[in-house]
Structure 1
């Protein structure tokens, strides 16, 4: 149960992972199958993240892909986790998500981040003459809100569709900066603890202490994303996790690769420094049997008191991936 006395919602973050030997088209089909699966299980949201220039991630055209997912599902909320707003003109984002919300009413979320979602060279290619973008993130969020408001109907520049639609905006963060912004704007706050856990607790504290009620939200609302790989046994889950570790090792070494099949052990694959670095950044990962994952997640929600949990799982075998999310739903329903 959440602190509000109701069952804590459970959601999914997906990056349309591209497997070794597969194509982005295969990744899209796998993502849709996952969305349909978790919808039947009772998950609340299915979010996708904007990343660029990564051979293992096919969700770069995030708004386009969200339309594919929403069109193939019936009730689950579909959204961005997130759109990296400095990469885009706020008007274009308002139009894109206004289109999605018009096609799929009451099902679209708009999560916003300030990072580029890529390396600096690619960021420059994305942003062209907006190389300093990111520092004006608060102003961009406000501009986007204005385009989506009904009051904008008298403006010289209007988002059609988008204007006047109820599209919940979330502020995403991996540090304390966005916590201050989400609190000041009275918006829900989602933290990327699945890859940047260091400032999780500080950010949640800041957000809750400084939250100002708004027309959008009367009280603080938090969500944290974690890595979960659940299987029948600890040994099997740990073996599945080696795909994830190899992927992350490629990021550490600057040698990006697609998500590969699991191996028996990471011993001899990464060195002591690399293993320690990965363990630090992936400390909010819960890998193991149902019992192991449940104990870990219970400690996590006890410590963070988040209102909603979001999970991501880099698992090579799609059947194992679907099973992991099925096991997680049972676990989440028992958390207190």
Structure 2
């Protein structure tokens, strides 16, 4: 592990049971402000649609809300699902944010719909072939930010000439190959799609083509982490997260529910196995207990940056967990530094 490996956050502004979207937005802003002081590098929000309990349907608006309430932490999309949008509009909106908050905006891009197929068809007005056009849409988006676009018949203002870092999101060898070919940083969704993590990380690094913006590969891995002062407390708090994941397995949108002492009464053995498979890269326990597995994970994927997702019902418990994540990462980085010294 590089001694300077940064750590960041992915958040979905998920509603708590018994609360509304306003509460989710306020909690997300407070979380961003708190982790900014803890030294986290980025705070990303994702695009989802037709999900009653996920309040991140308009990521650029949420990004503006978070950027306005913070000072220096990078705010980004994790991501904007590009096939749902015109590249011109994405450039205009991100350019707007970068103009207001210079040097703080990240643009993470994905090709999944962020919803079910019926809703995707409504979003894209029947143009489902736009998924296959994703590589071309990436090039169009890049061109709108380029200073060389000054004499084009269609230009994006105020994006033109702005240096906004772009990241490609994915969970497959296809996305790893495309990120490598385009010379873009790659963010792997190992927090819910762990199957191809090692292969994708290796494929991306081996096939990376340097670009003007990115001379070297840069690999970010997203994981779930729920830390507490005791194993029992961590497992208890994780039950809210497990119930949330159970909704995904069942094809339903569940809010964050209060933690419960035992999950056996809630899910079947088959559902438990499905959740465990989906959440293979989850680190739940005390900082001491999860550290060996986390260090192996980072080394296994040659991870340049760790992005953490932590879904718990109580906001105070979330803040405690992120504080423990920060402390753990500082210890891991210190150890890596000592091992690196001649």
Q: TM-score interval w.r.t. the shorter chain?
A: over 0.9
Question: For residue 49 of structure 2, what is the aligned residue in structure 1?
Answer: 52
Does residue 18 in structure 1 map to residue 19 in structure 2? no
Q: Check if 1:203 corresponds to 2:200.
A: yes
Q: In the comparison of the two structures, how many residue pairs are matched?
A: 333
> Which residue does 2:60 correspond to in 1?
63
Provide the residue aligned with 1:250 in structure 2: 247
- The separation in 2 between residues aligned to 1:303 and 1:255, in whole angstroms, is 33
**1:296: Cα distance to partner?**
2.2
Match of 1:122 in 2: 119
TM-score (normalizing by structure 2): 0.96
Report the Cα offset of residue 7 of structure 1. Answer: 1.8
Q: Among 176, 189, 199, which residue is 1:179 paired with?
A: 176
**How big is the shift at 1:284?**
0.4
Rounded to whole Å, the distance in 1 between the matches of 2:289 and 2:77 is: 30
Identify the residue that residue 212 of structure 1 maps to in structure 2. Answer: 209
The yes-or-no answer on 1:224 pairing with 2:190 is: no
Q: What's the TM-score, normalizing by structure 1?
A: 0.98
What SS does the aligned partner of 1:22 have? Answer: coil
Give the Cα–Cα distance (whole angstroms) in 1 for the partners of residues 290 and 34 of structure 2. Answer: 20
In structure 2, runs of 5+ residues without a counterpart are: 337-342
Aligned ranges 1:298-313 → 2 under 5 Å: 298-313=295-310
The answer (yes or no) to whether the contact 2:202–2:301 under 8 Å persists in 1 is no
Look up the match of 2:339: none
Shift of residue 302, structure 1, vs aligned partner: 1.9
Note if 1:72 corresponds to 2:69.
yes
Q: CA deviation at 1:255?
A: 2.9
Q: For the Cα contact (< 8 Å) 2:24–2:55, is it kept in 1?
A: yes
Which of 272, 278, 291 is 1:294 aligned to? 291
1:190 aligns with 187
8 Å Cα contact 2:201/2:302 also seen in 1: no
8 A Cα contact 1:7 1:333, kept in partner? no
In the alignment, the residues of structure 2 paired with residue 293 and residue 327 of structure 1 have an alpha-carbon distance, to the nearest angstrom, of: 11
Aligned-pair CA distance for 1:254: 2.2
Deviation at 1:139, TM superposition (A): 0.4
SS in 2 for 1:190: strand
- For residues 266 and 29 of structure 2, the distance between their equivalents in structure 1, rounded to whole angstroms, comes to 33
CA shift, 1:268, in A, is 2.2
**Could you list the per-position Cα deviations for residues 68-96 of structure 1 after superposition, in whole angstroms to 9, with x for gaps in the alignment?**
00000000000000000000000000000
Cα distance between partner residues in 2 of 1:129 and 1:285: 37
Large movers: runs of 4+ above 4 Å? none
Quote the residue 1:167 is aligned against: 164
The equivalent of 2:326 in structure 1 is: 329
Map of 1:135-154 to 2, 5 A cutoff? 135-154=132-151
User: 1:113-160: per-residue Cα shift (whole Å, max 9, x none)?
Assistant: 000000011111111041222111100000000001010111110000
Contact 1:231 1:290 in 2 (8 A): yes
Contact 2:38 2:323 (C-alpha < 8 Å) held by counterparts: yes
